[in-house]
Amino acid sequence: MARSPDYLGIHRHKPAVRNDNIKRLSRGEILVPTMNGNLTGKTAVVTGGSRGIGLGIAHELASSGCRVAIAGRDSRALEAAIAQFKNEDLSLSAKRCDVSNPDQVNELFQAVRERFKSLDFLINNAGAAHALANVDRLT
C-alpha cells in the first residue's frame, strides 16, 4: 500500500556527527525522513518508549497528533520521558509494563482500551538481553 505524499516528508538536517555512508546534498546537508501528516484521533502504543529510539518514535507520533501511550519497565524513566515534553501540547501518557510478563501486557492493553477505546498502531520497540540459549528454551 502506497503512503500518501503528505504522510512522509523530507527535512533538511545538518548532521551532528560525520557519517560517510549518508548521501550528501550540499554543504553537509542530508535528507532525513520526518512525519508531517495528521494523525489526530489515532492511538499508538510504543513499548520501550521511555528512552532512545522508542521515545523518539513516540514523540514524532504525538507531534503528528497521535495519542501515544509509552510503556517501559522503569517508572522513573517513564516519568522523565513524560516530563521532557510537558511544555508541548502532546497527548502522551505512560504505563509501567514489562513485556516479558503476560499479565502486565494484558494490563497495558486494558488501560489503553479504557482510556482511548481503540488502538491503531503498535510499535514493539522493547528489547531484552539474555544469555545464549537454544530458541526452544527462550520464553
Please determine, for residue 128, whether its predicted confidence score (pLDDT) is greater than 70.
no
Same domain, 50 and 5: no
User: Residues 31, 12: contact at Cβ < 8 Å?
Assistant: yes
Same domain, 114 and 63: yes
Least confident of 22-31, 37-46, 77-86, 95-104: 22-31
Cell of 108: 497495558
Same domain, 27 and 68: no
CATH number of the domain to which 76 belongs: 3.40.50.720
Same domain, 23 and 64: no
Is residue 132, in this structure, part of any structural domain at all? no
Q: Interior CA angle at 62 toward 122 and 29, to 5°?
A: 105
Q: How far apart are CA 8 and CA 82, in angstroms?
A: 25
Tell me which residue range forms the domain holding 23.
Answer: 1-37
Q: What is the pLDDT of residues 26-55, one digit of tens each?
A: 555 544 445 556 788 899 999 999 999 999
Structural domains counted in the chain? 2
Residues sharing a CB contact under 8 Å with residue 51, sequence separation 6 or more, in sequence order: 72, 77, 81
Same domain, 20 and 53: no
Element (H, E) at 30: strand 30-35
Same domain, 101 and 43: yes
Q: How far apart are CA 42 and CA 61, in angstroms?
A: 9
Is residue 139, in this structure, part of any structural domain at all? no
Could you tell me the CA-to-CA distances from 4 to 7, 9, 33, 41, 101 in Å, in that order? 6, 10, 14, 18, 37
Same domain, 21 and 56: no
User: Residues 71, 99: contact at Cβ < 8 Å?
Assistant: yes
Same domain, 17 and 76: no
- Of 45, 42, 33, the C-alpha closest to 5 is 33
Q: Of all residues in the chain, what percent carry a pLDDT higher than 90? A: 54
Is residue 82, in this structure, part of any structural domain at all? yes
Q: What is the pLDDT of residue 26?
A: 53
